[in-house]
Amino acid sequence: MKFLVSIVIFASTLALTAQSVASDANLEREMNALFPPPQSNLTLAQPPEKPALESPTYYQKVAPGSVTLKWKESSETPAFHVQVATDPGFKWLVKEEHLFNGNSIEISNLSGGKHYFWRIAGVKPNNKNGHTKGPYASSMFETSSK
């Protein structure tokens, strides 16, 4: 008799659980219909393109004092990260701009008879983390002694 009662209770528990699981699945389906999962925007996942440098050209000799760095304008890249340094590792920075708008920047107070290294990277501030900055385009120039 105890065995029969146990089987009846077990069967009724299974029946109630099955209804609960089925209603949970319906609830999940209804909620997903109300709040669909977000769709990926692939344009926000693409890193910015590498800028094309225009002037000064590699190893060009310029007058001391100031120089204007120029690169090609890009409709896909809203801002740029600009660095100018006296060493190729960019440890000794002369100028740094993190979100620079435009395609040219003037660098002043350049000493004569030195090499200067510069690099530019496109920046998309609204991109997902990890893809906000593109690859650097880099070059160097030297200033004449006088």
- Per-residue model confidence (pLDDT) at position 125: 81
Closest CA to 96 of 35, 74, 105, 24: 105
Residue 93 tokens, joined: 């920075």
115 plus 137 within the same structural domain: yes
Number of domain units in the chain: 2
- Per-residue model confidence (pLDDT) at position 69: 95
80 plus 117 within the same structural domain: yes
CB 77 within 8 A of CB 49: yes
Bridge pairing between strands 133-143 and 60-62: parallel
Range of the domain at 108: 46-143
32 plus 64 within the same structural domain: no
88 plus 64 within the same structural domain: yes
Map residue 96 onto helix, strand or coil.
strand
60 plus 28 within the same structural domain: no
Closest CA to 103 of 139, 79, 129: 79
Sheet holding 65-71, edge to edge: 53-55, 65-71, 104-110
Query: Taking the CB of residue 121, how many other CB atoms lie within 10 A of it?
Result: 21
Q: What average pLDDT score do residues 89-112 get? A: 92
Quickly state the pLDDT bin for 134 (edges 50, 70, 90): confident
More confident residue, 16 or 46: 46
63 plus 131 within the same structural domain: yes
Quickly state the pLDDT bin for 26 (edges 50, 70, 90): confident
* CATH at 70: 2.60.40.10
Whole-angstrom CA distances from 14 to 22, 28, 78, 141 are 12, 21, 61, 80
**What pLDDT, in 10s, does the model give residues 29-42?**
887 777 777 777 77
57 plus 103 within the same structural domain: yes
pTM score of the predicted model = 0.68
DSSP state of 80: E
3 plus 70 within the same structural domain: no
- Per-residue model confidence (pLDDT) at position 132: 78
74 plus 133 within the same structural domain: yes
51 plus 100 within the same structural domain: yes
- Per-residue model confidence (pLDDT) at position 120: 95
**What pLDDT, in 10s, does the model give residues 52-76?**
999 999 999 999 999 999 999 888 8
- Per-residue model confidence (pLDDT) at position 84: 95
58 plus 102 within the same structural domain: yes
51 plus 121 within the same structural domain: yes
